[in-house]
């Protein structure tokens, strides 16, 4: 589950919230900067969540099985601890 949440957060970090909100509402500069900090923060949180979960599985099964483990966890929702 952490792998999926991490990947979703990382993908959401690529949406340019600052540009979208600035185009719609005309944000002040400080709020525009805060939106970029928010984007970077959710991206780093996503990488941290997905990375910790994936690293546990790789340590247990080895790098040879890493692509298969990641695919099963991300697409099929299987636990990475198996």
20 token code pair: 């979208």
Domain ranges across the chain = 2-75
Task: Categorize the per-residue pLDDT at 79 as very low, low, confident or very high, splitting at 50, 70 and 90.
Answer: low
Q: How far apart are CA 31 and CA 45, in angstroms?
A: 21
71 pLDDT band (50/70/90 cuts)? confident
Q: What are phi and psi of 46, to 5 degrees?
A: -65, -45
What is the tens place of the pLDDT at every residue in 10-57?
Answer: 999 999 998 999 999 888 999 989 999 999 999 999 999 988 888 888
pLDDT band at 63 (very low <50, low <70, confident <90, very high): confident
Mean pLDDT throughout 47-74? Answer: 84
C-beta separation of 45 from 2 below 8 A: no
CB-count exposure of residue 80 (10 Å: 0-12, 13-18, 19+): buried
Residue 80 has phi, psi (to 5 degrees) of -80, -5
Model confidence at 82: pLDDT above 60: no
């Amino acid at each position: 589950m952490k792998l999926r949440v991490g990947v979703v957060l990382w993908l959401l970090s690529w949406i340019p919230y600052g540009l979208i909100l600035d185009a719609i509402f005309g944000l002040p500069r400080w709020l525009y900067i805060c939106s970029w900090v928010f984007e970077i923060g959710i991206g780093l949180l996503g990488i941290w969540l997905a990375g910790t979960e994936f690293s546990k599985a790789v340590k247990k099964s080895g790098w040879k099985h890493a692509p298969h483990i990641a695919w099963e966890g991300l697409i099929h929702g299987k636990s990475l601890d198996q």
